[in-house]
Amino acid sequence: MKAEQKITIKNRLGLHARPATRFAQLASTFQSQIWLERNGESVDGKSILEVLTLACPKGTTLIVRAEGPDSIDAVEALKRLVENRFGEID
């Protein structure tokens, strides 16, 4: 099963180390393979270092994509994390 959603980085400092860590940690709780894509470049969403290589400032639009038995739940959970600004207060 596959799922994907567009997400927009809303927090002021963008997708820096702390949000990337939270993204990868949450992604790792799912069985599905998870990718994060920006401008045609796709990285492993469970890898903090690979997520950081996307260098996403505030306003960046990304695609989160998952494939596996819990792909829909994974994409929804990751979308909520991003919409909630990774739990950061700007």
- In tens, the pLDDT along 38-87 reads 999 999 999 999 999 999 999 999 999 999 999 999 999 999 999 999 98
Query: pTM to 2 decimals?
Result: 0.93
List the end-to-end C-alpha distance of the chain, in Å, as a whole number: 36
Choosing from 10, 13, 14, 16, which is the catalytic residue? Answer: 16
In the residue annotation, 24 being an active-site residue is answered as: no
The H or E element spanning position 21 is: helix 17-27
Mean pLDDT of 21-50: 97
Cβ distance 54 to 62 under 8 Å? yes
Dist CA 80 CA 83 (whole Å): 5
* Residue with the larger pLDDT of the pair 89 and 60: 60
Mean pLDDT of 20-25: 96
According to DSSP, the residues that pair with 33 across neighbouring strands are 67
Q: Which architecture does CATH list for 2-87?
A: 2-Layer Sandwich (3.30)
Mean pLDDT of 4-13: 94
